[in-house]
Amino acid sequence: MANHILLLVLLAFTCSIAYSFEPSPLQDFCIADTTSSARVNGLVCKDPKMAQANDFFFTGLHLIGNTSNSLGSKVTPANVVQIPGLNTLGISLARIDYAPWGINPPHTHPRASEILTVLEGTLFVGFVTSNPENRLISKVLNKGDVFVFPVGLVHFQRNIGHGNAVALATLSSQNPGVITIANAVFGSNLPIPSEVLAKAFQVDKYIIDRLQAQF
């Protein structure tokens, strides 16, 4: 009997851990009320009796993204900003278009893991493990291939084909957030002192000044 009780306690503890990161919804849905000024961890729900199909709908992922920029890529998101009905559901996605040799630069999603599916083209993708190992785990993906980027880790994609490429990214948060490494380090507002970055990167200060001038 004592063993059974211990087993139940351990099971309850395990289940509490499993659900502590993303609590189960307490209602059918919570459509984001973007007009509310209330401050909560997420977005306030509007009256469910006012729910409409368009609260759960978005169109545009069939459109080719404009990749005529310095990176040669375009991300078209479909998260809680575009689909209010995603509020509290813990999922979102994005279309990513890549010009030949275009990149989705090193970045992180602080609130989500990502699973990337290649729809067209060939991508070189990878992520870097945390300190102290900082190991690059990378792979070449072709049409139909899938790759996972764990939450919070720096990752990237590069189109290594001769034509355009398209991928669909699915994320485990309604609002995954994006921290692009170059923008955060060299384009912060206010700027990180160049002396700090010069020492961190072990380069001359004038190199940091040139990099910061680009952001």
Is domain 53-177 in CATH 3.20.20.70, yes or no? Answer: no
Annotated binding site for oxalate: 104, 109, 114
pTM, to two decimals: 0.84
How many angstroms separate the CA atoms of 110 and 93, rounded?
A: 15
Residue 5 has pLDDT above 80, yes or no: no
Does residue 8 carry a pLDDT above 90?
A: no
pLDDT at 14 over 50: no
Structure tokens, 88: 């509290």
At residue 22 the predicted structure's pLDDT band, cuts being 50, 70 and 90, is low
Contact present, 205 and 141 (Cβ < 8 Å): no
Residues within the annotated binding site for Mn(2+)?
A: 107, 109, 114, 155
**Residue 149 pairs with which residues in a beta bridge?**
114
Amino acid of residue 185: V
Name the binding residues. Answer: 104, 107, 109, 114, 155
